[in-house]
């Protein structure tokens, strides 16, 4: 491999000749050979948007000439298009401020811009990092990446699933089935009502996510090193936030308290809490569906789900609820990520939190996993879900909890006697009530009508 010599404040560094990064990126690459986790692509793209906005604002404020600003903007557009993905190799497990990733962007933009210009017009620190610090750019990029993931990926995925559940509701309004509490038979309900519970859970957590993510729109950019804004010109913070809002079509604005913005990661904690809540809802929905689809002959078997692949290497014909299992595993991972984010966010010492890479790594991991799993579950499970109406009717007719509707007529204790007799002697509820002479046949038939109980 051929190398070129780059330098930084510590001296000379050998960098692969075919790479756009510089000395500080190379040092980090060599000093943190830890695991295989790289800075998320979403974060790199967020940084590119930030660097472009900063350059354009510095130009507007007279600190940067138009040619250099346009060079930076051009390279950032290339990064956003995915043209230089291989130039961002750094590990998540680096400095807790993400300084080396900020410098990775600065060096790649400077070197690529200079190659385009044919002369050394851009400097990583003096030009690309103008009016900025790693301490305000990294939390800003975190918020850009997180809010983008929420609005462009997770909420749309939830909306697609909500629409599919609404369709299932409409198709099953006439289906009455037995309800279940404590995994035991309960009183009847419409299948559409059960589905409406799933839909309502997802709508509630989607709305909570939208509300909680509002704080992600507040940006630290302009606070520079410790929140005082040293080396950033007057008006830079507000104008950079406005520029980012225009570039992304998201409601970014400058955080009025830069000291909090640099050291506190509370917005990400709260927002991820809503993601965790959505994962919890998905866990419940997926578990309900796989229980209801259990069987096909020796389980509940009240619904049928798509047969996507063989379920066993030894049992021919076995089909498993794999989409449900995938969703529940994702939910477990999101809950684990939430624990890591909470611990890391509690470590804001003095003017800076130095656990930022692990926070955004886990946040984006959760958002990506959950949005992908919701879309897969909607497409490969819900879209083909059907009710086994005959099985539902059979289970409904055999249930002893229909006796509940007799409480007002014969009293709780007599109703309990009838249910117990039916259970212990294998009778139908009707047979037990008639044997105890609690009602006549006509009275029983009039009172015990599942359609009146829903």
**Quick check: is 182 catalytic?**
yes
Q: What is the rounded CA–CA span in Å between residue 11 and residue 174?
A: 77
Rounded Cα–Cα distance for residues 213 and 402 (Å): 45
- Angstrom distance (rounded) from CA 319 to CA 316: 9
Cβ contacts of 68 within 8 Å, gap of 6 or more? 55, 59, 113, 121, 122, 127
| Nearest to 341, CA basis, from 321, 323, 361, 370 | 361
Closest CA to 52 of 78, 82, 88: 78
Q: How far apart are the first and last CA of the chain?
A: 74
Q: Return d(Cα 453, Cα 217) in angstroms, integer.
A: 48
3-state secondary structure of 211: helix
d(CA 319, CA 305): 10
Residue 7 β-bridge partners: 12
CA distance 381 to 413: 43
User: Which of 182, 249, 254, 365 is labelled catalytic?
Assistant: 182
Backbone angles phi, psi at 417, to 5 degrees: -60, -45
**Is 312 assigned a catalytic role?**
yes
User: Which residues partner with 349 through β-bridges?
Assistant: 352
Instruction: Name the catalytic one among 312, 366, 371, 373.
Output: 312
Rounded-to-5 percentages of helix, strand, coil across the chain: 65, 10, 30
CA distance linking residue 189 with residue 449, whole number of Å: 12
Nearest to 386 by CA among 225, 168, 211: 168
CA dihedral 175, 181, 186, 192 (to 10 degrees): -10
What are the tokens at 344? 């890391």
Active-site residue list: 182, 312
């Amino acid at each position: 491999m051929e190398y070129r010599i780059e330098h930084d404040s510590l001296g000379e560094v050998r960098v692969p000749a075919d790479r756009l990064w510089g000395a500080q990126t190379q040092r980090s690459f060599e000093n943190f050979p830890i695991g295989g986790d790289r800075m998320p692509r979403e974060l790199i793209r967020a940084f590119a948007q930030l660097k472009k906005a900063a350059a354009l604002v510095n130009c507007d404020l007279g600190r940067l000439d138009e040619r250099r600003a346009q060079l930076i903007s051009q390279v950032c557009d290339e990064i956003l298009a995915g043209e230089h993905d291989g130039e961002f190799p750094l590990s998540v497990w680096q400095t807790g401020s993400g300084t080396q990733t900020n410098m990775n962007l600065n060096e790649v933009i400077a070197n690529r811009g200079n190659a385009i210009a044919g002369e050394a017009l851009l400097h990583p620190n003096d030009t690309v990092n103008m009016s900025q610090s790693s301490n305000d750019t990294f939390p800003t990029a975190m918020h850009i990446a997180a809010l983008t993931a929420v609005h462009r990926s997770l909420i749309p995925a939830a909306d697609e699933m909500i629409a599919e559940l609404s369709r299932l509701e409409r198709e099953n309004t006439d289906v009455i089935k037995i309800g279940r509490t404590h995994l035991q038979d309960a009183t009847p309900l419409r299948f559409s009502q059960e589905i409406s519970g799933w839909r309502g859970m997802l709508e509630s957590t989607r709305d909570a996510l939208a509300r909680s993510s509002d704080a992600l729109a507040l940006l630290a950019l302009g606070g520079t090193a410790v929140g005082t804004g040293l080396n950033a010109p007057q008006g830079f913070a507000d104008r950079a936030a406005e520029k980012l809002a225009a570039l992304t079509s998201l409601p970014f604005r400058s955080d009025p308290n830069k000291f909090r913005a640099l050291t506190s990661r509370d917005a990400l904690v709260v927002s991820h809490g809503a993601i965790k809540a959505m994962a919890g809802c998905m866990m419940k929905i997926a578990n309900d569906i796989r229980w209801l689809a259990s069987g096909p002959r020796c389980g509940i078997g009240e619904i049928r789900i798509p047969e996507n692949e063989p379920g066993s290497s030894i049992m021919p014909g076995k089909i498993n609820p794999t989409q449900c299992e995938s969703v529940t595993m994702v939910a477990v991972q999101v809950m684990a990520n939430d624990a890591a984010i909470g611990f890391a966010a509690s470590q804001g010492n003095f003017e800076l939190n130095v656990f930022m890479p692990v926070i955004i790594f886990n946040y984006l991991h959760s958002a990506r996993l959950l949005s992908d799993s919701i879309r897969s579950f909607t497409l490969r499970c819900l879209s083909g879900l059907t009710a086994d109406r005959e099985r539902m009717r059979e289970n409904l007719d055999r249930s002893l909890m229909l006796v509940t509707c007799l409480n007002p007529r014969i009293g709780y204790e007599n109703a309990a006697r009838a249910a117990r007799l039916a259970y212990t002697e294998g009778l139908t509820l009707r047979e037990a009530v008639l044997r105890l002479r609690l009602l006549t046949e006509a009275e029983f038939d009039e009172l015990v009508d599942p359609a009146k109980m829903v």
